Amino acid sequence: MKIYVDADACPVKEIIIAEALKVNLPVILVKSYSHFSPQDDPPGAQSVYVDTGADSVDYRIMYLAKSKDIIITQDYGLASLALAKDCTVIHHKGFLYTNQNIDDLLHTRHAHAKARRSGQKTKGPRAMTNEDKEKFRKLFSEILN
């Protein structure tokens, strides 16, 4: 089992790496070249860089991931594909994507995109809080154990 992270804008990378080290699972941080860093990866993590295209990170994660792997993303489309591949998929705010909730999430995303295209304003996601990070840590730790 491996852990794949949609890492370009993931605010919980440090938590993921720390928790994965406790159970000796590898973490693969998939990032676009626009987020390149010359720094060495932290112990237990490996960075994989892809082109800066719109869905390049998603495509690479889906290429690499196998059944039973864990994927962390805020992207509902990637989550849907990963669920179909029998992966465990977690949002960085601490909830699981499931076959029971993914259709509603995708529908809501589509409705908001449609509203924006027609000129309406929609609210963006609320800011990440320390409570969100702790909720993520708790869920992630439970899944790993």
Question: How confident is the model at residue 135, as a pLDDT?
Answer: 96
In a domain, 49, yes or no: yes
Strand boundaries in the chain, DSSP class E: 3-6, 27-32, 45-50, 70-72, 88-91, 95-97
Query: Please, are residues 89 and 82 in contact by the beta-carbon 8 Å criterion?
Result: yes
Residue 40 structural domain: 3-99+128-144
In a domain, 123, yes or no: no
Report the predicted TM-score, pTM, of the whole model to 2 decimal places. 0.86
The CATH number assigned to the domain holding 50 equals 3.40.50
In a domain, 122, yes or no: no
In a domain, 48, yes or no: yes
Tally of domains within the chain: 1
Question: How confident is the model at residue 22, as a pLDDT?
Answer: 96
In a domain, 47, yes or no: yes
Instruction: Report the chain (145 residues): mean pLDDT per 10 consecutive residues.
Output: 94 97 97 84 94 89 97 93 97 92 73 74 79 96 95
Q: How many CB atoms lie within 10 A of CB 95?
A: 15
Question: How confident is the model at residue 14, as a pLDDT?
Answer: 95
In a domain, 53, yes or no: yes
In a domain, 11, yes or no: yes
In a domain, 140, yes or no: yes
